[in-house]
Amino acid sequence: MALFAIICKDKPGALDTRLATRPTHLDYLNQSTGLKLAGALLGDDGNPIGSLLIVEAENLAAAQAQADNDPFTTAGVFDSVEVRPWRVAIGAL
């Protein structure tokens, strides 16, 4: 198993869709295996402008599938989704 960072940036004007989809998104994350942490990236005004997730998965394809099936992704909230191998340098999960 390896760790992956999923970095998602919202489309401009996607806040209403994000807020409407949030309960389904949170249910999905709560049922996901391998999720280590998740949270919103915030703009200067304090509103969400993206998401950051750290997941443990068998491989990049499995981590990508988790990102692809996220309700925020399927609802069209994100302008971009990047999945990258990640490792802890300082601190612990």
Q: How confident is the model at residue 92 (pLDDT cuts 50, 70, 90)?
A: confident
Q: How confident is the model at residue 16 (pLDDT cuts 50, 70, 90)?
A: very high
Q: How confident is the model at residue 55 (pLDDT cuts 50, 70, 90)?
A: very high
Q: How confident is the model at residue 68 (pLDDT cuts 50, 70, 90)?
A: very high
* C-alpha–C-alpha distance, residues 9 and 72, integer Å: 11
For residues 43 and 63, the answer to whether their CB atoms sit within 8 Å is no
The mean per-residue pLDDT over the stretch 8-12 comes to: 98
- Bridge partners (DSSP) of residue 50 are 9, 41
* C-alpha–C-alpha distance, residues 88 and 70, integer Å: 24
Domains located in the chain, CATH noted: 2-85 (3.30.70.1060)
Q: How confident is the model at residue 46 (pLDDT cuts 50, 70, 90)?
A: very high
